[in-house]
């Protein structure tokens, strides 16, 4: 039997998010160590680490998503939400402004 692929590892980690948050985080961290560009794992880590009270790490992973996908408005929207939940309102507003620019919804002067 072959080793589980990235999707199987991700699914296995995510199944633990409501029953064993630390095990979920550990599984996701293992994925990004092996596959540093795996966007979904970084997104999930941002949310799970926030829930676990690890705000700086949550922000790090949310920022990593924007580095991997710099033209994806959702990446910046998620970063904004993570910043907001961590009490960093200025940074949250800045990230949301970047999302709006990417979406093309910012009024031009």
Report the pLDDT value the prediction gives residue 4, as an integer from 0 to 100: 82
* Residue 109 resides in a domain: no
Report the pLDDT value the prediction gives residue 1, as an integer from 0 to 100: 52
Top-confidence residue, 105 or 65:
65
Whether 108 has a pLDDT exceeding 60, the answer reads no
* Cβ contact 74:100 at 8 Å: no
The total number of structural domains that make up the chain: 1
* Cβ contact 32:20 at 8 Å: no
Which range of residues forms the domain containing residue 47?
6-103
Whether 107 has a pLDDT exceeding 90, the answer reads no
* Residue 1 resides in a domain: no
**For residue range 10-63, what is the model confidence (pLDDT) as tens digits?**
999 999 999 999 999 999 999 999 999 999 999 999 999 999 999 999 999 999
* Residue 40 resides in a domain: yes
- Across the chain, mean pLDDT equals 94
- Domain with residue 40: its CATH number is 1.25.40.10
Residues 39-68 as b/e (b if ≥16 CB within 10 A, e otherwise) read eebbbbbbbbbbeeebbebbbebbbbbbee
Whether 2 has a pLDDT exceeding 70, the answer reads no
* Residue 108 resides in a domain: no
């Amino acid at each position: 039997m072959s080793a589980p692929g990235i999707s199987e590892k991700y699914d296995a980690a995510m199944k633990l998010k409501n029953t064993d948050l630390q095990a979920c985080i550990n599984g996701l961290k293992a994925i990004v160590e092996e596959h540093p560009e795996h966007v979904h794992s970084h997104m999930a880590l941002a949310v799970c680490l926030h829930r676990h009270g690890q705000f700086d790490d949550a922000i790090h992973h949310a920022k990593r998503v924007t580095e991997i996908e710099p033209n994806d408005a959702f990446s910046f929207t998620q970063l904004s939400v993570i910043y907001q939940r961590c009490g960093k309102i200025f940074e949250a507003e800045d990230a949301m402004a970047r999302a709006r620019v990417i979406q093309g919804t910012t009024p031009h002067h």
